[in-house]
Structure 1
Amino acid sequence: MFEFKKTSHHQKRRIVLRIWVAGVFALLCFGALLGRLWFLQVDRYEGLAARADQNRIAVVPIPPRRGEIVDRNGVVLARNYRDYTLEVTPAHVGNMTKMLNALEQVVYLSPLDRRRFKQRLSQTGRYSHVLLRNNLNDTEAAWFAAHAYKFPGVELRARWVREYPQGESAAHVLGFVGRISEADLATLDEEGRSGNYRGTNAIGKKGIEKTWEESLHGRTGLEEVEVTAAGRPVRTLRRVDPVPGSNLVLSLDIGLQKEAEKLFEGKRGALVAIDPKTGDVLAFVSAPSFDPNLFIDGIDVENWRKLNESPDHPLIDRPLYGTYPIGSTYKPFVALAALELGKRTATQRIPDPGYFEFGGQKFRNAAGAVYGPTDMHRALVVSSDTYFFSLGPEIGVNALHDFTKQFGFGQITGIDLDGERRGVLPSTEWKRHAYKKPEQQRWYAGETVSVAVGQGYNAFTLLQLAQATAVLANDGVYMKPHLVSLVENPLNGKAVRTVTKPSYTIPLKPENLKVVKDALVDVVRYGTARRAFVGAKYQAAGKTGTAQVYSLKGAKYHVGSVDERLRDHALFMAYAPADNPRIALALIVENGGWGATVAAPIARQVFDYWLSPDRKENENEVTMPASLTDALPTARGPIAPPPAADNADTSPHVPAGAADDVPEESPDAVVRPEDQPPDEEEDPQDPVAPNTTRGPARALTLTESRATERP
Structure 2
Amino acid sequence: MSQQLRDPVAERRLVRSRLLIVGVLAAVALAAIAARLWWLQVEGYQHYATLSQENRVRVVGIPPTRGLIYDRNGVLLAENVPTYRLVVTPEQVPDMEGLLGRLGRIVELRATDLERFHQLRRQRRGFQEIPLKFGLTEEEVARLAVNRHRLRGMEVKAQLARRYPLGGTAAHAVGYVGRINREELATVSPAEYSATSHIGKTGVERYYESRLHGKVGVERVETNAMGRTLRTLERQSPAPGEDLYLSLDVRLQKVAEGILADERGAIVAIDPGSGEVLALASTPTFDPNLFVNGIGIDEYRALQSDLDRPLFNRALRGQYPPGSTLKPFLGLAGLETGTKAAEETVYDPGYYSLPGVDHRWRCWKAGGHGHVDLHDAIAESCDTYFYDLAYEMGIEAMHEFLGRFGFGSPTGVDLPGERGGLVPSKDWKRETRGEPWYHGETIIAGIGQGYMLATPLQLAHATATLASRGRTVPPRLLAGTRSHDGERAPVAGGGEPVEPIRLSDSGYWGDVVGSMEAVVHGRRGTARAVGEDAPYRFAGKTGTSQVFGIGQDEEYNAEELEKRLRDHALFIAFAPAEDPEIAVAVIVENGGSGSGTAAPLARAVMDAWLLRLRETAEGYKGG
Q: What one-letter code is carried by the residue in structure 2 that aligns with 1:624?
A: K
- In structure 2, the partner of 1:449 is 443
Alpha-carbon distance, 1:16 to partner: 13
Choose which of 463, 467, 483 in structure 2 pairs with 1:473. 467
How big is the shift at 1:470? 0.5
Match of 2:497 in 1: 502
Q: Kindly indicate whether the alpha-carbon contact (under 8 Å) linking 1:337 and 1:400 is maintained by their aligned counterparts in 2.
A: yes
Is the 2:474–2:495 contact (alpha carbons within 8 Å) kept by the matching residues of 1? no
Partner of 1:671: none
1:202 aligns with 2:198: yes
> Equivalences for 1:221-260 in 2 at 5 Å?
221-260=217-256
Give distance in 2, aligned partners of 1:394 and 1:104. 73
The answer to whether the 8 Å contact 1:413/1:464 transfers is yes
Q: Is residue 120–residue 130 contact of structure 1 (8 Å, CA) maintained in 2? A: no
Other-structure match for 1:164: 164
Q: Residues 345 and 373 of structure 2 are in contact (CA less than 8 Å); yes or no, is this contact kept in structure 1?
A: yes
Matches of 1:535 and 1:576 in 2, distance apart?
Answer: 14
1:485 to 462, 467, 479: 479
Deviations along 1:10-44, one digit per CA (max 9) or x if unpaired, are: x99x9999999999999987776665444333322
Distance verdict in 2 for CA 1:455–1:299, change over 3 Å: same
The alignment partner of 1:136 has SS state of coil
**Matches of 2:99 and 2:16 in 1, distance apart?**
66
* The one of 303, 309, 327 aligned to 1:307: 303
One-letter identity of the residue aligned with 1:504 = E
Structure 1: gaps (5+ residues)? 1-10, 627-711
Q: Is the 8 A contact 2:350 2:365 kept in 1?
A: no
- Residues 423, 461 of structure 1: 8 Å contact kept: yes
For 1:41, the aligned partner's letter is Q
**Within-5 A mapping of 1:65-144:** 65-89=65-89, 92-93=92-93, 109-110=107-108, 113=109, 115-120=111-116, 122-123=118-119, 125=121, 127=126, 129-137=129-137, 141=141, 144=144
**Equivalent-residue separation in structure 2 for 1:323 and 1:255 (angstroms):** 27
Count of paired positions: 606
CA-CA distance at 1:589 after TM superposition:
0.6
Q: How does 1:520-539 map to 2 (within 5 A)?
A: 520-526=516-522, 527-539=525-537
Q: Is the 8 A contact 1:117 1:130 kept in 2?
A: no
SS at match of 1:161: strand
What residue is the counterpart of 2:432 in the other structure? 434
Quote the Cα distance in structure 1 between the aligned partners of 2:510 and 2:101.
78
Aligned residue identity for 2:328 = P
* Structure 2 residue 515 is the aligned partner of structure 1 residue 519: yes
- TM-score with structure 1 setting the length: 0.79
Cα deviation for residue 487 of structure 1 reads 2.9
Q: Structure 1 residue 572 and structure 2 residue 568: aligned? A: no
Which shows bigger deviation, 536-545 or 138-147? 138-147
The aligned runs of 1:291-306 (5 Å cut-off) are 291-306=287-302
1:219 aligned residue (209, 215, 218): 215
Preserved contact between residue 119 and residue 182 of structure 2 (Cα < 8 Å) = no
Cα shift at 1:329: 0.5
Aligned to 1:590: 589
Q: Is the 8 A contact 1:64 1:244 kept in 2?
A: yes
Deviates more, 1:579-588 or 1:526-535: 526-535
| Separation in 2, partners of 1:102, 1:434 | 58
Indicate the SS of the match to 2:596: helix
Task: Determine which of 395, 415, 418 is the counterpart of 1:417.
Answer: 415
Whole-Å separation in 2 of the counterparts to 1:22 and 1:100: 54
Q: In structure 2, what is the equivalent of residue 624 of structure 1?
A: 621
Q: Is this contact kept in 2: 1:325–1:455, CA < 8 A?
A: yes
Where do 5+ consecutive residues of structure 2 fail to align?
1-10
CA RMSD, Structure 1 to Structure 2 (Å)? 2.9
SS in 2 for 1:282: strand
Contact in 1 for aligned 2:252/2:613 (Cα 8 Å)? no
CA contact (8 A) 2:69 2:77 kept: yes
Distance of 1:15 and 1:100 partners within structure 2: 63
Quote the Cα distance in structure 2 between the aligned partners of 1:98 and 1:435: 59
Measured against aligned partners, the alpha-carbon deviations of 1:324-361 in whole angstroms (never above 9, x if no partner) come to: 11111100001101111111111122222222221423
Deviates more, 1:481-490 or 1:335-344: 481-490
Q: Which residue in 1 is equivalent to 2:5?
A: none
Once residues 24 and 296 of structure 2 are traced to their aligned partners in structure 1, the CA distance between those partners, rounded to angstroms, is 76
Partner of 2:551: 553
Q: Give the distance between the partners of 2:262 and 2:557, measured in 1 at CA.
A: 23
8 Å contact from structure 1 (residues 358, 446) kept in 2? no
In the superposition, relative to structure 1, how do residues 278 and 149 fare at CA in structure 2: closer, same or farther (>3 Å)?
Answer: same
CA 1:84 to 1:371, structure 2 compared with 1: closer, same or farther past 3 Å?
same
3-state SS of paired residue (2:352) = strand
Distance 1:102 1:357 in 2: 79
* Aligned partners of 2:543 and 2:569 also within 8 Å: yes
Percent pairwise identity: 43
CA deviation string 1:27-71 (max 9, x = no partner): 987776665444333322222221111111111111111111111
Among candidates 439, 452, 463, match of residue 457 of structure 2 = 463
Query: Deviation at 1:584?
Result: 0.2
Task: Indicate the SS of the match to 1:197.
Answer: coil
Structure-to-structure mapping, 1:334-413, within 5 angstroms: 334-359=330-355, 360=357, 361-413=359-411
CA drift of 1:451 comes to: 0.8
Report Cα offsets for 1:131-177 as digits up to 9, x if no partner. 44432345654664465334212111122211111111111112211
Change (3 A) 1:586 1:369: farther
Contact 2:490 2:622 in 1 (8 A): no
Q: TM-score, normalised by structure 2?
A: 0.90
Q: How does 1:646-665 map to 2 (within 5 A)?
A: none
> Whole-Å Cα distance in 1 between the matches of residues 91 and 235 of structure 2?
27
Q: Is the 8 A contact 2:490 2:620 kept in 1?
A: no
Does the 8 A contact of 2:363 with 2:383 survive in 1?
Answer: yes
Contact 2:121 2:130 in 1 (8 A): no
Contact 1:58–1:226 (CA under 8 A) maintained in structure 2: yes
Residue 332 of structure 2 is aligned to residue 316 of structure 1: no
1:368 match: secondary structure? coil
Amino acid at match of 1:201: S
SS at match of 1:450: helix
Give me the whole-angstrom Cα distance separating, in 2, the residues matched to 1:375 and 1:114: 67
Question: In structure 2, how many angstroms separate the alpha carbons of the residues matched to 1:425 and 1:374?
Answer: 26
Q: CA distance change for structure 1 residues 376 and 617 in 2, over 3 Å: closer, same or farther? A: same
- CA–CA separation in structure 2 for the residues paired with 1:82 and 1:206: 23
2:610 alignment partner AA: L
Alpha-carbon separation, structure 2, partners of 1:373 and 1:602: 32
Indicate if the aligned counterparts of 2:92 and 2:227 stay in contact, CA closer than 8 A.
no
